[in-house]
């Protein structure tokens, strides 16, 4: 038999697979900031011409990432590219930027993108917003004061234009204005401006600016410990339901701080939980994430709960919550000495975080925890020993604290004032009517479970399969009968009287 030559068909798939892997396209290079700003201006112009605010929202979603890439050269090139050479708006924007050097004259311009012939006022407000954020990023006080002047000028021009298509950008501008006043340590001076703008936004149903201004006012009140005025603002206003998640997160954070100061810990805990859920990712906004969790931990301790240990192992929170972790350990063990040492060691950080006054309230929780541990360890203990173990000032203080703990139901016992000791009522025998009742309920549950199991075992395991087989046989007979009727093999006498 002659040899048969085999065709090389099996090697084709491997070669095709190799070719497809080699021809994988490379990821596109990111566009330059100047081109991105120019494209955003085109989207803003499209939003104004088509009355579609979604294009403006698309532009503002990139604001956080874009402002980190800005510098003087990029902003100057963007302004010179967007506006004509003899434009008055161009001159008013370039005043806030330093003069361009000779080496920076080359501009990164995308020739394929077309510049709008007439730039809308919303584009000018967007460029002013970028310049304000760029100036605020500087550490120089002179540049920050310059940003405050630009913010005031932008607010005046924005209010004079009075365009509803500018609402989304206006909300971002109000936040930048608040930040400028904060860095200049003049946040109280901005309060009348914010109050007037908040009334206007509420009357015009401008939900985005309304939400931003409420948060600015709450921040201003809390910064000066004006919690009563902040509470009145919350009670007299309604936060817009259509606000963004970022605004809702800030609102719940401020509301949680107000409720914590007012001793309403359960509501404060709920608001802080909402702030954590609505906040951006931890790595996107680490500062806000850490601030919320600091108050969240303190409020949980004030409620009598101990936060989960895994919370303090979070990559973003581990270093920021170290002082609070030491406080949690002191509260958990009920050691007043450890609590005082931790408070003294981290007092500066607690003061910077504005949690010092709340942590001072934890002293009573530490004492209650210590008394509870002593009541479980001793059947009888003198007030002097309680005073020594809990590091209290006098036996009278120990008697008052123990009496209050007994009245609040923290421990069970009584104080024998004549003999100067506390008798703990938790040292009981393991028998009694309450114990027998609990055991009776457990035994009844087990007996009921046993009876139900026995009933379930009375029926054969596969008894239902016979019924299924009988039903399937009946369906087959019905199919055969219907087929015979259709073919005409049966007459009326064969069908019977029912048919």
- pLDDT over 90 at 25, yes or no: no
Q: Which tens digit of pLDDT belongs to each residue from 104-132?
A: 554 444 444 444 457 888 888 888 888 88
At residue 432 the predicted structure's pLDDT band, cuts being 50, 70 and 90, is low
At residue 6 the predicted structure's pLDDT band, cuts being 50, 70 and 90, is low
- pLDDT over 90 at 295, yes or no: yes
Q: Work out the average pLDDT over 435-454.
A: 88
Q: Are 74 and 34 in contact (CB under 8 A)?
A: yes
At residue 35 the predicted structure's pLDDT band, cuts being 50, 70 and 90, is confident
Q: What percent of the chain has pLDDT over 70?
A: 80
pLDDT at 489: 55
pLDDT at 253: 94
pLDDT at 402: 74
pLDDT at 339: 85
pLDDT at 124: 86
Q: Which tens digit of pLDDT belongs to each residue from 70-114?
A: 888 888 888 888 888 878 888 888 888 877 654 455 444 444 444
Q: What percent of the chain has pLDDT over 90?
A: 15
pLDDT at 52: 83
- Greater model confidence, 410 or 471: 471
pLDDT at 2: 53
- pLDDT over 80 at 225, yes or no: yes
- pLDDT over 80 at 277, yes or no: yes
Class of domain 361-424 (CATH, top level): mainly alpha
pLDDT at 459: 67
Whole-number mean pLDDT of the chain? 80
CA dihedral 83, 76, 135, 92 (to 10 degrees): -40
Q: Structural domain boundaries of the chain?
A: 31-186, 361-424
pLDDT at 273: 92
Q: Is the pTM of this model over 0.85?
A: no
**Backbone angle region of 401, left / alpha / beta, with phi > 0 → left and psi within -120 to 50 → alpha:** alpha
Q: Work out the average pLDDT over 196-200.
A: 90
Q: Are 187 and 178 in contact (CB under 8 A)?
A: yes
Q: Work out the average pLDDT over 381-405.
A: 70
């Amino acid at each position: 038999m002659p040899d048969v030559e085999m065709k090389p068909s099996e090697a084709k798939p491997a070669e095709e697979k190799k070719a497809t892997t080699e021809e994988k396209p490379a990821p596109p290079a990111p566009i330059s900031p100047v081109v991105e700003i120019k494209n955003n201006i085109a989207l803003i112009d499209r939003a104004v011409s088509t009355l579609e605010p979604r294009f403006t929202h698309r532009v503002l979603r990139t604001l956080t990432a874009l402002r980190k890439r800005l510098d003087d050269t990029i902003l100057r090139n963007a302004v010179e590219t967007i506006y004509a050479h003899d434009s008055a708006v161009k001159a008013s924007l370039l005043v806030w930027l330093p003069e361009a050097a000779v080496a920076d004259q080359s501009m990164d311009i995308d020739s394929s993108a077309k510049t709008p012939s007439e730039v809308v006022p919303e584009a000018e407000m967007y460029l002013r917003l970028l310049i304000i954020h760029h100036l605020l990023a500087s550490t120089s006080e002179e540049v920050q004061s310059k940003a405050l002047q630009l913010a005031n000028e932008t607010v005046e021009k924005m209010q004079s234009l009075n365009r509803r298509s500018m609402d989304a950008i206006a909300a971002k501008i109000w936040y930048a204005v608040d930040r400028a006043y904060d860095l200049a340590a003049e946040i109280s001076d901005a309060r009348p401006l914010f109050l007037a703008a908040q009334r206007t936004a509420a009357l015009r149903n401008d939900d985005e600016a309304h939400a931003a201004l409420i948060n600015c006012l709450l921040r201003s009140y809390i910064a000066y410990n004006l919690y009563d005025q902040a509470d009145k603002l919350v009670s007299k206003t309604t936060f817009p339901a259509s606000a963004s998640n970022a605004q809702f997160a800030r609102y719940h954070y401020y509301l949680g701080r107000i409720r914590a100061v007012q001793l309403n810990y359960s509501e404060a805990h709920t608001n802080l939980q909402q702030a954590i859920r609505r906040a951006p990712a931890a790595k996107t906004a680490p500062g806000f994430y850490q601030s919320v969790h600091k108050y969240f931990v303190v409020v949980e301790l004030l409620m009598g709960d101990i936060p989960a240990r895994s919370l303090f192992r979070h990559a973003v929170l581990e270093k920021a919550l170290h002082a609070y972790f030491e406080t949690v350990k002191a509260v958990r063990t009920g050691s007043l000495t450890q609590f005082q040492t931790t408070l003294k060691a981290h007092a500066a950080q607690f003061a910077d975080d504005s949690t010092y006054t709340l942590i001072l309230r934890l002293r009573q929780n530490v004492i209650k925890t210590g008394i509870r541990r002593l009541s479980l360890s001793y059947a009888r203990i003198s007030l002097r020993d309680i005073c020594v173990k809990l590091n209290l000032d006098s036996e009278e203080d120990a008697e008052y604290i123990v009496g209050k703990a007994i009245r609040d139901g923290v421990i069970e016992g009584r104080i024998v004032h004549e003999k100067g000791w506390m008798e703990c009522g938790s040292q009981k025998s393991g028998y009694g009517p309450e114990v027998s009742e609990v055991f009776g309920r457990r035994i009844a549950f087990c007996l009921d479970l046993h009876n139900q199991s026995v009933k379930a075992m009375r029926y054969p395991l596969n008894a239902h399969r016979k019924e299924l087989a009988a039903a399937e046989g009946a369906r087959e007979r019905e199919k055969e009968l219907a087929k015979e009727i259709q073919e005409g093999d049966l007459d009326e006498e064969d069908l019977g009287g029912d048919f």
